[in-house]
């Protein structure tokens, strides 16, 4: 049995409840997740996520008093030490918030949309950085294989630097999702030079696993095999780097 947040719980128990949400099991049970640090909590306060609880230093609570009041959020005072001990950040001199997960209907992809598909990206930090990059390039729909790191993991949310408020991640069976998509890009060592691509309307861009690349079942669905030209000797690029370069080239091709 997990720890649930009740209005009349003492502050210490509430901090313990926040800590329990580091585990996916309790996040799923509570349908809640945690947002940490000044920038991310500030973005959350400006979003339409339902916020259930905020633990904040006096300074943060004062600075964001108006927003906390207008959102009718319960705020419990906390020391920096407490914030870092119940959260995942080494230092946190601002706040931790608890918000309700959202559930979205299955994504509908129009032929003019760019959509990312994460094929088994295991590292939460990588997923977060990829979502931040997607947000920069105006990609707000992301699908992910079930083995991809959890969107609501505190490290994922943290690495998005606030982009978790704008990008939707749908966990799906990728081969099934891709079965009816007409344009699917994937990076391979032997594809078309991405610098030569022009006039891309839209499509789904598959990003492969950090160690193994795109899985065989997903690779079969890829309609456009592209390559990022290599000028040196590194064996491969990190998944998030590849995402950044592909999105930059596809957006450039649309100009």
d(CA 64, CA 71): 11
Is residue 162 a contact residue for its own copies (CB under 8 A)? yes
Q: Which of residues 120, 141, 163, 187 is near its own copies by CB under 8 A?
A: 163
Q: What is the 3-state secondary structure (H, E, C) of 171-230?
A: EECHHHHHCCCCCEEEEEEEEEEHHHCCCCCCEEEEECECCCECCHHHHCCCCEEEECCC
Nearest distance from C-beta of residue 253 to its own copies, angstroms: 10
Nearer to its own copies, 40 or 120 (CB): 40
What the block records as the tokens of 177 is: 């999702």
Give the residue with the Cβ less far from its own copies, 37 or 82: 37
> What contacts 61, CB < 8 A, 6 or more positions away?
54, 68, 75, 77, 95
What is the number of other CB atoms lying within 10 angstroms of the CB of residue 64? 21
Applying CB under 8 A, among 71, 122, 166, 225 the residue interacting with its own copies is 166
Q: Per rule CB under 8 A, is residue 103 in the interface with its own copies?
A: no
d(CA 220, CA 204): 14
Segment contacting its own copies by CB under 8 A, of 30-38, 78-86, 92-100, 155-163: 155-163
Give the residue, chosen from 108, 179, 216, 234, that forms a contact with its own copies under the rule CB under 8 A. 234
Using alpha carbons, select from 45, 237, 251, 36 the residue that is nearest to residue 136.
251
- Strand-pairing partners, residue 96, are 36, 55
Between 86 and 131, name the residue whose CB sits nearer to its own copies: 131
Q: Does 237 bind its own copies (CB under 8 A)?
A: yes
Q: Is 142 in the site for its own copies (CB under 8 A)?
A: no
Question: Least CB distance from residue 219 to its own copies, whole Å?
Answer: 21
CB of 8 to its own copies, least distance (A): 39
* CB 188 to its own copies: min, Å: 15
24 binds its own copies (CB under 8 A): no
| Residue choice 132, 150, 153, 178 for contact with its own copies (CB under 8 A) | 132
Q: How many amino acids of this chain bind its own copies (CB under 8 A)?
A: 35
Q: Which two tokens stand for residue 66?
A: 């108006």
**Which among 90, 43, 91 has a CA at the least distance from the CA of 64?**
43
Going by their DSSP bridges, the two strands 141-145 and 114-118 should be labelled as parallel
Q: Which residues form the interface with its own copies (CB under 8 A)?
A: 129, 132-140, 161-163, 166, 195, 228-238, 240-241, 244-245, 248-249, 251-252, 255
């Amino acid at each position: 049995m997990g720890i649930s947040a009740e209005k009349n719980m003492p502050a210490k128990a509430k901090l313990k409840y926040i800590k329990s949400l580091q585990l996916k099991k309790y996040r799923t049970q509570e349908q809640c997740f945690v947002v940490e640090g000044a920038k991310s909590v500030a973005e959350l306060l400006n979003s339409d996520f339902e916020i259930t609880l905020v633990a904040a230093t006096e300074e943060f609570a004062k600075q964001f008093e108006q927003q906390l009041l207008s959102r009718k959020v319960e705020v419990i005072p906390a020391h920096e030490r407490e914030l870092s001990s119940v959260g995942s950040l080494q230092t946190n001199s601002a706040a931790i918030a608890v918000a309700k997960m959202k559930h979205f209907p299955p994504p509908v992809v129009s032929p003019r949309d760019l959509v990312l598909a994460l094929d088994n990206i295991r590292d939460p930090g990588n997923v977060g950085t990829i979502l931040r990059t997607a947000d920069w390039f105006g990609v707000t729909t992301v699908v992910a294989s079930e083995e991809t790191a959890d969107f609501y993991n505190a490290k994922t949310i943290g690495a998005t630097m606030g982009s978790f408020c704008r990008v939707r991640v749908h966990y799906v069976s990728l081969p099934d999702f891709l079965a009816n998509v007409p344009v699917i890009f994937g990076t391979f060592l032997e594809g078309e030079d991405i610098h030569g691509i022009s006039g891309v309307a839209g499509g789904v861009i598959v990003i492969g696993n950090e160690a193994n690349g795109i899985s065989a079942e997903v690779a079969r669905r890829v309609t456009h095999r592209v390559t990022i030209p290599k000028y040196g000797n590194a064996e491969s690029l990190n998944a998030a780097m590849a995402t950044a370069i592909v999105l930059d080239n596809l957006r450039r091709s649309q100009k």
